[in-house]
Structure 1
Amino acid sequence: MQEQFFSYLKSKTPDTSSFVDEVAGVLDVGYDAAYRRINLKTTLSIDEAVKLARYYKISLNKLFEVGSEHSILADLSPPLQSIDGINMWMKKSYENLIPLTKIKGCSVIYSAKDIPVFHTLKDNYLSRYKIYVWLKDIEPEITKKKITFDDFIKSIPKDLLDNAFRLGNIYKDINITEIWNNTTINGTLQQVLYYFEAGALSKDLALKICSDIEDVIRDIEKQAIKQSLDASKGQAIYNLYVNHIHNMSNTMMVITPMQKVFFIPFSVISYIKIEHQPTCEMRYDIFKKEMSSSKLLVNAGEKDRSLFFNRIHHKINRLRERIRIDDDAFDFE
């Protein structure tokens, strides 16, 4: 295993570099000590292996060769416990996405149980409301102090909003395929209804959020018909599939010419990251099966396309009516 590991690291080293010197520098050991590890005369410790894996940016699954289909390693994103944590998540997500915009052939597939977050990160009430909902889930003091959205919107940090809008914009330069079903809209609408009924959201702002959701859906419809994202610098491709069979999961896969990586929701907006390539290929096959049993909306007839989006607009209008008349007899079905 150690021999295979060092063989893989060598392939990552430029021909002009001394591999032994490089390993010695990363591990902070002498030339002879590094040489003994490379030639298997000294066993590599786990801590040393992790240092090398991080330096050469390789998956821990490659490091330990935990290659069984039943046993893989995964990374868990840092826990979000405050508004500062959400702000840091915005910054890190942006930094992680920037390189993808420079890779030719890079794309994202998204199984949309809810409206993908990058559609909602715009300068409107909906984006601010989404941040409020995330914070309610991770910060108990918000609930204890009975802070309403109307209160929260007056004090939301400007740099947090700037980072949110910046993150939303970066997605416009990545090819994206989304798979929706008839319930994808429900989670967002249910959140508005819940906090309105709980008294944490005023009628006026609830109605404005409904209008923002409607605008987002109209933009998505236009982009699905054009098969391109608005304001994209490089004409990024946008494909929207509708699936009437499977439940979606908010699982996202990033595909590059070098590898595939996918992300599974863990809590709120945190996630589990999987880089193990055999597992990624298995998940990619699931995506392909879901797409094969779905309709690509640009190829669907005008009737099918209109039915799908009209059903969504009907749900938004029903929520709007519910807020206006304050009638308890309401659901989305």
Structure 2
Amino acid sequence: MQDLFIQYLKTKVKDNTSFAEEIASVLDIGYDAAYRRINQKTSISLEEGVKLAKHYNISLNRLYEVGSQNTILTELSPRINNVEGLEEWLKQSLINLEPLTKIKKATLIYAAKDIPIFHSLTDTHLTRFKMFVWIKDVDLNLTTSKVNYENFIEALPKSLLNAAYLLGNVYKNINITEIWSENTMTGSFQQVLYYYEAGLLSKENALKICNDFEDVINHTEKQTILQSHIGSNNKAAYSLYKSELHPLNNTLMVVTPFKKIFFSPYTVLNYFKVEHQETCEHIYDFLQKQMSNSKLLANTGERDRSVFFKKLHIKLGLLRERIEIDEKMSFL
């Protein structure tokens, strides 16, 4: 295996460059140590192999055909433990997605168990509440404290909100295909009710978040009818499918004319990034089957589309009713 790796590296080196010297430079080792690795007298460690692969822009999956052994390599997203980690995650996501705005045929496919994150990256209470929920889930100090939503948003740094807005604006300029079910917003509704009943979210702000939910539903319905993003600079396409068969799990796939990339969540926002093309093709085929068993709401007719969004409004109405009920009862 090391011999295959070395032979492949040699094809990447310029003719006027000493192979051993370049390997020594990349690995920060002596010439003799590099020569021993080239001649397989010393094994290349995993860390050294990764350094060389990154330097020469080589896919280890492709080189070793790891997929044939039911094993693939994945990349982890930035770890989120606090507000600073969330800001870094948003910035890294922007770096990953912004190039797609320049590729005409690039598309994102999002199987939405919950409201896609891009719908909640605007200057609203919903955006701030989602950040509150995310951080409460990962920051141990915040989890064990009784910090409420109102205290939390007072301390939010402007740089975090700006990073969110930038990512939200990029979303408008990428072709998007989303798959929703009638339960896609239910989890977010439940979060509002949970924190309201726990005394960590005021009635006033809970109802403001409900208004933001209503805006998301209305905005999504308009985009579904138009089949394009509202406010897009490049008339990016938008398609919404209604799934009735398969459960959704917030997976995201990037499809370009050159390759496919798959993002699979494993915590609230953290994800595995998979670039192994055989695996991506398999997942892409599955998503295509999901869409074939779903309804494209732009084509189903006004009745089916209206019924779908009406059900979301009804669920939101039930949330408002729960919040507005005066649960304080006097027994005196």
TM-score by length of 1: 0.89
SS at 2:172 equivalent: helix
Partner SS, residue 68 of structure 2: coil
Alpha carbons 2:78, 2:88 under 8 Å: kept? no
Greater CA drift, 69-78 or 235-244: 69-78
C-alpha offsets along residues 242-279 of structure 1, whole Å, 9 cap, x if unaligned?
Answer: 11111101011112222211111111111112222211
Report the Cα offset of residue 286 of structure 1.
0.7
Give the aligned partner of residue 27 of structure 2: 27
Q: Which runs of 5+ in 1 are unaligned?
A: 329-333
Which residue of structure 1 aligns with residue 77 of structure 2? 77
Q: CA deviation at 1:190?
A: 0.6
Cα deviation for residue 118 of structure 1 reads 0.6
Pairwise CA distance, 1:204:
0.4
What pairs with 1:1-333 in structure 2 (closer than 5 Å)?
Answer: 1-5=1-5, 13=12, 18=17, 20=19, 23=23, 25-28=25-28, 44-68=44-68, 70-326=70-326
Partners of 2:79 and 2:89 within 8 A in 1: no
Quick check: 262-271 or 142-151, which moved more?
142-151
* CA distance in structure 2 between the aligned counterparts of 1:263 and 1:316, rounded to whole angstroms: 29
The code of the aligned residue for 1:52 comes to: L
Q: CA deviation at 1:207?
A: 0.3
Opposite residue 88 of structure 1, the aligned amino acid is: E
CA–CA separation in structure 1 for the residues paired with 2:99 and 2:15: 25
Alpha-carbon displacement from aligned partner over 1:46-90 (angstroms, at most 9, x marks no partner)? 333211211233433235432225222222323311111111111
Is the 2:67–2:279 Cα contact (8 Å) retained in structure 1? no
Write the deviation string for residues 159-193 of structure 1: whole angstroms up to 9, x where unpaired: 11111111111111211111111110101101001
Measured after TM superposition, the shift of residue 224 of structure 1 is 1.2
Q: Distance in 1 between matches of 2:285 and 2:190?
A: 32
Displacement of 1:27 in angstroms is: 3.3
What SS does the aligned partner of 1:320 have? helix
Asked whether the 8 Å contact 2:75–2:272 carries over to 1, the reply is yes
Alignment-mate amino acid for residue 258 of structure 1: F
1:140 Cα deviation from its structure 2 partner: 2.8
Shift of 1:240: 0.7
Aligned residues: 327
For the Cα contact (< 8 Å) 1:76–1:273, is it kept in 2? Answer: yes
Q: C-alpha separation between the residues in 1 aligned to 2:141 and 2:213?
A: 28
Q: Which secondary structure state, in structure 2, belongs to the residue aligned with residue 80 of structure 1?
A: coil
Residue 3 of structure 1 deviates from its aligned partner by: 4.9
Q: Distance in 1 between matches of 2:83 and 2:274?
A: 26
Contact 1:121 1:168 in 2 (8 A): yes
What is the distance in 2 between the residues matched to 1:39 and 1:220? 60
CA distance, structure 2, for counterparts of residue 184 and residue 69 of structure 1? 36
Take 1:266 and 1:282, find their aligned partners in 2: how far apart are those partners?
Answer: 19
Q: CA deviation at 1:123?
A: 0.3
Do the aligned partners of 1:37 and 1:44 also contact (CA within 8 Å) in 2? yes
The question of whether the paired residues in 1 share the 8 Å contact of 2:206 and 2:323 is answered with yes
Amino acid at match of 1:216: V
- Structure 2: gaps spanning 5 or more residues: none
C-alpha separation in 1, matches of 2:306 and 2:43: 64
Give, in angstroms, the shift of residue 29 of structure 1.
5.7
Closer, same or farther: CA 39–237 of 1 in aligned 2, 3 Å = farther
Aligned-pair identity in percent equals 54
Give the drift of 1:4.
4.3
Secondary structure, aligned partner of 1:230: coil
- Once the two structures are superposed, residues 32-51 of structure 1 have per-residue CA deviations (whole angstroms, 9 ceiling, x without a partner) of 87678667787544333211
Alpha-carbon deviation of 1:297? 1.1
Instruction: Point out the more displaced range, 305-314 or 57-66.
Output: 57-66
Name the SS of the counterpart of 1:67 in structure 2: helix
CA contact (8 A) 2:228 2:237 kept: yes
